[in-house]
Structure 1
Amino acid sequence: MQSLKIILLASAFNGLTQRAWLELRQAGHSPSVVLFTEASAVCEQIEHSGADLVICPFLKDRVPQALWSDSRRPVVIIHPGIVGDRGASALDWAITNELSVWGVTALQAVEEMDAGPVWATCEFNLPAGLRKSELYNGRVSDAAMVCIREVVEKFIEGFQPVELDYTRPSVRGRLQPNMRQADRSFSWHDCARFIKRCIDAADGQPGVLASLAGGQYYLYDAHLDSRSGMPGQILAVHGDAVLVAAGDQSLWIGALRRKPQPAEETFKRPARHVLAGLLNHVPVLDWSIATQPFSDEAYQPIRYRESGHVGELTFEFYNGAMSTEQCQRLAAALRWAKARDTRVLLIRGGRGSFSNGVHLNVIQAAQDPGAEAWANIQAIDDVCAEMLSARQLVVSGVTGNAGAGGVMLALAADIVFARADIVLNPQYKSMGLYGSEYWTYSLPRAVGPALAEQLTQACLPVSAIEAWQLGMVQEIGPRCPDQFSLWLLQRANSVLSDPTYAPVRERKSRIDQALIHRCREAELQQMQQDMLHDRNRFADRCEHFVYKRRVCGTPARLVEDWARVGLVERTELAS
């Protein structure tokens, strides 16, 4: 296949943009990233780059006229909607209206938003109960990659995109308004399932504004419960979540963002943290793996079950962020699971991100962010320590994307199984951190010292296939989450007898705990400089991340030489 120079124009180098970048490289193309900053700067970068094609996997900004009107190269938008759908709230409406089928469409940028000729489309079944981020990172991402592959193939073949024609019966989508808070509103007297759907449709951004505990908050991370009470009343607290009564049953709300005052910025945090003193007289439901290991509670961020000689510990923390307290709960659960009469310990993620390491929002909100960061990194180190010291053979099931300490947490296991097409970011440097979670032990053990250094310094994503080729991952399972869960448990049950893992079992018998301890101490010495003394501007980077500041430009590591050369030559001519 012909190799193309492709610009990926995006508002952020998010999971989908990373996946597109990785897959295009794997296919032999040369993708270069342009992050949208200011229209004239973006045009300057692209017009003189020599790119064959521009693809926009995740673009919240309008494509400048100078780009879409340039006949030298098409600009293709990846829109998360079926053919004919238009507007910025496509997924919000699809979830709200409980549609059974949805899709992704690749269309050419024109003056009118989402109204251009169609290059490709891919539809999928839309199960009930998915939250927006889960839908976006799962079925939408998969369909988007199908469209991107088709666009590239059609471009090489000289395909001309098909004009959007609303008179055709196959064009079922329509222009939809941007969803407002009035469209998302609910009453606590409504049924719990309806309220959950409202919150699911606003997951990630912007959340649903509602009254709670006498204040106004944006709500996220909703889970159904069978308890009941006075609608709107907070019935209980468990972990980081609060249980709120609805018209029939109730919902656990895991995260909140206080409605800001004029000229104020707020960000989402665990619900219990946000409400704090308002919960003094609310009952605390204190179950845990140790006290109720096989609980039938509906809401269990950490849960456990056994199958044969495998103990399966699942943790599911919102957005993959792990606060000090969450890490402490997970470490306690691991200690309990390690004491069970099992031979394999499977630690796996839930339905969202696997883990992204420490909880930057909780750190930013702390009275002393540096001290909270320091406590958080030691707590997540304790989780890894429990895995590294387990008697059982430890298997990690990487169910979703992972970054920084989340990648290293997975690598603390003896064997790593990953779901197909996930993306890993095995680096800390872009956040101004040296890194911990025993990475100086686990990563070199997996890939060797030289490659470990390269991976942590390059600050580039790694696909599941690349991770397998490098030795970070031992096997890749199905992409479908349900199929992966079944496959994962089956593979965990087989690792004790599978001859492939005989060297792993033998290696475990001679593990050097003294070396492991020295790695932790050396890492924490470095992290102390980063978190307590801020030597690499971790505090600023954390704030930038939490408040979602717009990037100032595209990092050099994401710009290919061919894209940089054209711009440099143009600058030299101008001077």
Structure 2
Amino acid sequence: MRVLLLTQAFNSLSQRLWLELTEAGHEVAVEFDVNDAATRRAIDRVRPDLLLAPFLKRAIPTDVWRALPCLVVHPGPPGDKGPSALDRAVQEGAPEWGVTVVQAVAEMDAGPVWAHRRFPMRAATKSSLYRREVTEAAVSALTEALERFERGLGPALPDNGPEPMRPALPQAERAIDWGRMTTAEALARIRAADGMPGVRDELEGHAVWLHDAHPAQATGAPGALIGRGDEAILRATADGAVWIGQLRVTLPGEARTLKLPAVEALRLLGVALPPRVDRPGEPSKVEAERHGDIALIRFPFHNGAMNLGRCRALEAAIRQAAGGDARSILLTGGAEFWSNGIDLATIEASDSPAETSMELIEAIDDVCLALLEARDKWVVSLMRGNAGAGGVFMALAADEVLARDGVVLNPHYKNMGNLYGSEYWTYLLPRRLGHEGARAMMETRLPLSARGALKLGLIDGLIEADADAAEAEALSRLRARLDDPGFARDLAEKQARRDRDEAQKPLARYRAEELERMRLNFFGFDTSYHVARYNFITKVPKSRTPNYLARLVRTG
């Protein structure tokens, strides 16, 4: 079919559905929901058989849904209606939730139901549930809905039930009463607002929005800041405490708001920091474990962003594992993200974004170098969550690259102001795709599925499991490799290849050439990167749909 994907943003769900549709052989164009006139022009241009809306913040125009079947992906089970569906489910502690593919009619979320799926709720943030359970349920439900549509079977249910639409969840109902509420209640509210809009609160007279909350083993005067870690702050509740990893704040003397690691946000606001404490559960920490001959390293960084502290901690963990007696190193990132490269929010908040950009590129290059210099270990990257930009190329520094089926990769830099990129990609990518293949990939701006990456040769294997089970499967596969009689030969071949490559062109030269181009991006006359970064971090609304998304694409 010919499908128009109408969306507020090309987010994780929209990208996953775009990939599923194109790989199934449908012709798909994307249109950002900028205004009604733009939507109508896109329909005239594309002439779709169907309009699909995976992420909208306003109603589809009446004349559009009357003239064209429009299917909306609603993050709630049949009968649920309203813009804060998943927020309410998390805050109210629903034991299960779902996704409904509903046809657009005059009343929001009330039309015929083409398909639906249910899933048990995890104790997790709204964003985590959205990226994992909601996305998988949406893919499954949409597959059924499209099959029904193509076969002319019609909707599965005549309407989405008689229940009234519930309004958007206001900040008044999200607010935390720190003197009365328990850790569980505070967690539920912050987790329900994760991503956007956050929970509005106040610290030392400053308005802040709370994000990235985790339970903590500590006590104190309810509401008080009782400690801090590397990035997170510890705040007491009525019966315990929570770690708060991220704060969205308005910087002094500015109108813009930025979401930053909580400790850094308080520093910028001039708030006195509580004393450093060592308590389990602090978010965005590197985790190292030993599993027999395998050194396992997780790095569940918030949104997959790599700031200086995170890069240094990950590099140290890799070098410690490389210097030990383990025979292999397995890196599994986080369950939500593998890595999305340098931390743009930290750069945006710095006194010199150009200098900070350069500092972070050097730091993530050091992480890649640590992997490449682990010569007597078999290094495996497992991308359990989505990855983008330099994070994808960091994974390629391993000897073997695996990905969980369903992961979405964005192996390019161009969308961030035509960045050239580093992370030794000029060495790592041609090894897998050849020079022409590497050049073609670096010119693209489109996402790539894990299945597509395997087909291209960008990765070496797929694991069909959820994030937790994928790690266990990777450990099992790696143990089998270590026990294989051919392992010693494989390791020797790796070392010999690295020696040949180094003799032909040293890694230091690849890095110097890449950083020379990056320095032009950061300090040169072309400010495209700085404009793109500012627009991305401050969420400047799109004024139009980029041409690379608007054109019809079919890859199946």
Same fold flag (TM > 0.5)? yes
2:421 partner letter: G
Secondary structure at the aligned position of 2:341 is classed as coil
Corresponding residue for 1:193? 184
Length-normalised TM-score, structure 1 = 0.90
Deviates more, 1:5-14 or 1:482-491: 482-491
1:135 partner letter: L
Corresponding residue for 2:41? 44
Query: CA separation in 1, counterparts of 2:420 and 2:476?
Result: 37
For residue 171 of structure 2, the aligned residue among 178, 181, 185 is 181
Distance 1:451 1:218, change over 3 A: same
Question: Aligned pair 1:16/2:8, yes or no?
Answer: no
Query: CA separation in 1, counterparts of 2:337 and 2:456?
Result: 22
Corresponding residue for 2:95? 100
Secondary structure at the aligned position of 2:46 is classed as coil
Question: Aligned pair 1:332/2:332, yes or no?
Answer: no
Query: CA separation in 1, counterparts of 2:343 and 2:473?
Result: 30
Deviations 1:424-453 (A, max 9, x none): 000001112100111111111122211111
Question: Aligned pair 1:411/2:396, yes or no?
Answer: yes
- 1:215 CA displacement: 2.4
1:234 partner letter: L
- 1:411 CA displacement: 0.9
Check whether the contact 1:478–1:487 (CA below 8 A) recurs between aligned residues.
Answer: no
Query: CA separation in 2, counterparts of 1:9 and 1:501?
Result: 49
Corresponding residue for 1:555? 546
Query: CA separation in 2, counterparts of 1:194 and 1:446?
Result: 49
Secondary structure at the aligned position of 2:19 is classed as helix
1:310 partner letter: I
Deviations 1:283-340 (A, max 9, x none): 224x7xxxxxxxx823262111111100001101111111122212211222222222
Deviates more, 1:421-430 or 1:60-69: 60-69
1:192 partner letter: T
Distance 1:479 1:552, change over 3 A: farther
Check whether the contact 1:212–1:232 (CA below 8 A) recurs between aligned residues.
Answer: no
Check whether the contact 2:410–2:446 (CA below 8 A) recurs between aligned residues.
Answer: yes
Check whether the contact 1:49–1:562 (CA below 8 A) recurs between aligned residues.
Answer: no
Check whether the contact 2:289–2:296 (CA below 8 A) recurs between aligned residues.
Answer: yes
- 1:22 CA displacement: 1.1
1:82-231 paired onto structure 2 within 5 Å: 82-127=77-122, 129-161=123-155, 162-164=157-159, 166=161, 175-189=165-179, 190-231=181-222
Distance 1:231 1:6, change over 3 A: same
Corresponding residue for 2:467? 481
Query: CA separation in 1, counterparts of 2:12 and 2:321?
Result: 32
- 1:21 CA displacement: 1.2
Question: Aligned pair 1:444/2:435, yes or no?
Answer: no
Query: CA separation in 2, counterparts of 1:342 and 1:102?
Result: 43
2:289 partner letter: R
Check whether the contact 1:213–1:233 (CA below 8 A) recurs between aligned residues.
Answer: no
Question: Aligned pair 1:5/2:2, yes or no?
Answer: yes
- 1:213 CA displacement: 3.6
Corresponding residue for 1:291? none
Length-normalised TM-score, structure 2 = 0.93
Aligned residues: 543
2:51 partner letter: V
Check whether the contact 1:254–1:271 (CA below 8 A) recurs between aligned residues.
Answer: yes
Distance 1:31 1:165, change over 3 A: closer
Query: CA separation in 2, counterparts of 1:466 and 1:264?
Result: 42
Check whether the contact 1:374–1:532 (CA below 8 A) recurs between aligned residues.
Answer: no
Secondary structure at the aligned position of 2:132 is classed as helix
1:280-429 paired onto structure 2 within 5 Å: 280=272, 282-285=274-277, 297-299=280-282, 301-390=285-374, 391-429=376-414
1:475-514 paired onto structure 2 within 5 Å: 475-498=461-484, 505-510=491-496, 511=498, 512-513=501-502, 514=505
Distance 1:187 1:53, change over 3 A: same
Distance 1:137 1:562, change over 3 A: closer
Corresponding residue for 2:233? 242
Deviates more, 1:238-247 or 1:303-312: 238-247
Check whether the contact 1:213–1:234 (CA below 8 A) recurs between aligned residues.
Answer: no
Deviations 1:480-506 (A, max 9, x none): 122112112212222324478788534
Query: CA separation in 2, counterparts of 1:69 and 1:93?
Result: 30
Query: CA separation in 1, counterparts of 2:436 and 2:219?
Result: 57
Secondary structure at the aligned position of 1:46 is classed as helix
- 1:265 CA displacement: 2.5
- 1:402 CA displacement: 0.4
Query: CA separation in 1, counterparts of 2:253 and 2:363?
Result: 36
1:299 partner letter: E
Secondary structure at the aligned position of 2:105 is classed as coil
- 1:200 CA displacement: 0.6
- 1:174 CA displacement: 5.1
Corresponding residue for 1:57? 54
Check whether the contact 2:110–2:160 (CA below 8 A) recurs between aligned residues.
Answer: no
Query: CA separation in 2, counterparts of 1:69 and 1:281?
Result: 57
Query: CA separation in 2, counterparts of 1:245 and 1:8?
Result: 45
Query: CA separation in 2, counterparts of 1:455 and 1:502?
Result: 33
Secondary structure at the aligned position of 2:34 is classed as coil
How well do the aligned residues superpose, as a CA RMSD in angstroms? 2.1
- Consecutive unaligned residues of structure 2, counting only runs of 5 or more, are none
Query: CA separation in 2, counterparts of 1:500 and 1:457?
Result: 38
For residue 515 of structure 2, the aligned residue among 508, 524, 538 is 524
Deviations 1:345-395 (A, max 9, x none): 111112212111011111111111111111111111111111111131111
Distance 1:486 1:559, change over 3 A: same
Check whether the contact 1:414–1:504 (CA below 8 A) recurs between aligned residues.
Answer: no
Corresponding residue for 1:470? 456
Deviations 1:174-200 (A, max 9, x none): 522210111111122321121111111
Check whether the contact 1:218–1:259 (CA below 8 A) recurs between aligned residues.
Answer: no
Check whether the contact 1:43–1:66 (CA below 8 A) recurs between aligned residues.
Answer: no
1:255-274 paired onto structure 2 within 5 Å: 255-258=246-249, 264-274=255-265
* % identical aligned pairs: 38
Deviations 1:215-244 (A, max 9, x none): 221000111111111222222221111111
Distance 1:115 1:209, change over 3 A: same
Question: Aligned pair 1:457/2:443, yes or no?
Answer: yes
Distance 1:395 1:366, change over 3 A: same
Secondary structure at the aligned position of 1:429 is classed as coil
Secondary structure at the aligned position of 1:253 is classed as strand
Distance 1:249 1:238, change over 3 A: same
